[in-house]
Structure 1
């Protein structure tokens, strides 16, 4: 809660000539006694493209400030035209009325200002060098832009928190545009599918068939071996000769496998694979 609240600002001399002083009637409310003065400033924005031409027109210390509603007149000098580019004198610009306490700004009021000639002929065909005596200003006082800032006043209790307060209830409400919302929806969908499959009898049957698919193959392989042994006959010498022949065949097969690995079946090396192997 702010100790000082701005209640209203009236621009007194408006419209006026470009070289006239600015005059503001400022009304504010003070809720408790302040140890220091309030500092009011008026800044003229000299260029829309650079802040190098901004000018502090005037500043005023107000204090000691009594508790309650206060009103005063703030006069400020016009801008120094030598610090404003000629191309920026005419047209729309901005003035900023600010107030600070102990070097901390707590309120800012911005006004648009329209600078133009006081005759239609000059506005229709403005000279290259502005004629300042014929330029008038009009502060658009009906549409101010007020910005307030939370600051520390005299007590430590008045200091704003460094971090925003925790809002656990806000975390419970998912925002559709928040980051990660799509990923969360996909995970929930996958979880729902897994839960449905866990309770679906058909799905359980399919899983059982898939799990047991390897067992029949293994049984068939074992059965085939038994049949071959059962059907085999002859003397032990014949069996030994057959074993010798099979052993030679197996040796040749292994040799062919080795040749294939050294030959056409070997994957071709590329610079990328060479680099990986080097590491």
Structure 2
């Protein structure tokens, strides 16, 4: 949780001449009593290609900070033209307003700023030497870019964590790299694999063989039943007379064979069917 919350920043003199002072009305809220002052800085980005031309225009310490909503005006001098490449005085650049506590930055507000001449003719045909007195700066205050940072304030409890929280359960999960290596060794047949590592593949292979055997058995059983049924239709009257003389034991045996199929095939046929 941030002890200081930046509520609003109002650019007072905008637009203004390039050489006028910057004025910012800053409003913030303090939730707890702090032992140190806040430090505000304003930085002008002199070049889009190198940070060597950045200029710290001014800095201000504010304190002691009372608890509640506070407001103050921050003034800063304009940039030094001698430190800005002449080709980058005109055009769009950036202003950075930062706030820090005990040397630790906790908020940054960036503004795009457009520098141009006060006449359309000079903007179309700018002079070889920049006419600074005719340059007008316009801070795009309506579209600031605000970035907040979690910092340590006065207590140890307010210090943000430097690393992600510990996850003891993550140590129980095998590494992907080790699992991949085990699978590769198992596929190639080299090295030893821990017991149970290939149990699933073995069971699947066995199941395929069992299904294949069941299909063959079921087909054989089906053919026997059909053949036996067809044979009974082709018998002539003499065979029927002969069957009447069969003993009771033989009749029971024939009826059981006709229902269950050949010996050993009845159970397999029921499972597959």
State the TM bucket, normalised to the shorter chain. Answer: 0.5 to 0.7
Q: Structure 2 length normalisation: TM-score? A: 0.65
Secondary structure in structure 1 of the residue aligned to 2:147: strand
Contact 1:11 1:24 in 2 (8 A): yes
> How many residues are paired up?
193
Q: Partner residue of 2:204? A: 196
CA deviations 1:111-168 (Å, max 9, x no partner) are: 0000001100011111221111110001011111111111111111111111123578
Are residue 142 (structure 1) and residue 150 (structure 2) matched? no
Gap runs ≥5 in structure 1: 172-178, 206-279
Structure 2 residue aligned with 1:49 = 49
Q: Quick one: distance in 2 between partners of 1:170 and 1:126?
A: 65
Shift in Å at residue 169 of structure 1? 9.9
In structure 2, the residue matched to 1:16 is: 16
Q: Any conservation in 2 of the 1:41–1:56 contact (CA below 8 Å)? A: yes
**Partner deviation per Cα, 1:230-251 (whole Å, 9 max, x = no partner):** xxxxxxxxxxxxxxxxxxxxxx
Taking the aligned partners of 2:126 and 2:170, their CA distance within structure 1 comes to: 57
How large is the Cα RMSD of the aligned pairs?
A: 2.8
Q: How does 1:200-215 map to 2 (within 5 A)?
A: 200-201=208-209
Q: Is residue 2:41 matched to residue 1:33?
A: no
CA shift digits 1:34-88 (9 cap, x unpaired): 0000000000000000011100001000000000110111111100111101001
> What is the SS of the residue equivalent to 1:36?
coil
1:74 lines up with 2:80 in the alignment: no
Helix, strand or coil at the partner of 1:200: helix
Query: Which residues of structure 2 form unaligned runs of 5+?
Result: 188-197, 214-273
- Could you tell me the TM-score, scaled by structure 1's length? 0.63
The CA deviation at 1:203 is 8.0
**What residue number does 2:227 align with?**
none
Task: Tell me which residue corresponds to 2:114.
Answer: 114
User: Alpha-carbon deviation of 1:33?
Assistant: 0.3
Give the whole-Å Cα distance in 1 for the aligned partners of 2:74 and 2:206: 78
User: 1:198-277 residue pairs with structure 2 within 5 A?
Assistant: 198-201=206-209
- What CA deviation, in whole Å up to 9, does each residue of 1:12-47 have, x standing for no partner? 111111001111110101000000000000000000
CA distance in 2, matches of 1:38, 1:169: 42
- Corresponding residue of 2:253: none
Per-residue CA deviations over 1:149-199 (Å, capped at 9, x if unaligned) read 11111111111111123578999xxxxxxx99xx8xx99xx9876653242
Given that 1:94 and 1:112 are in contact with CA atoms closer than 8 Å, whether structure 2 keeps it comes out as: yes
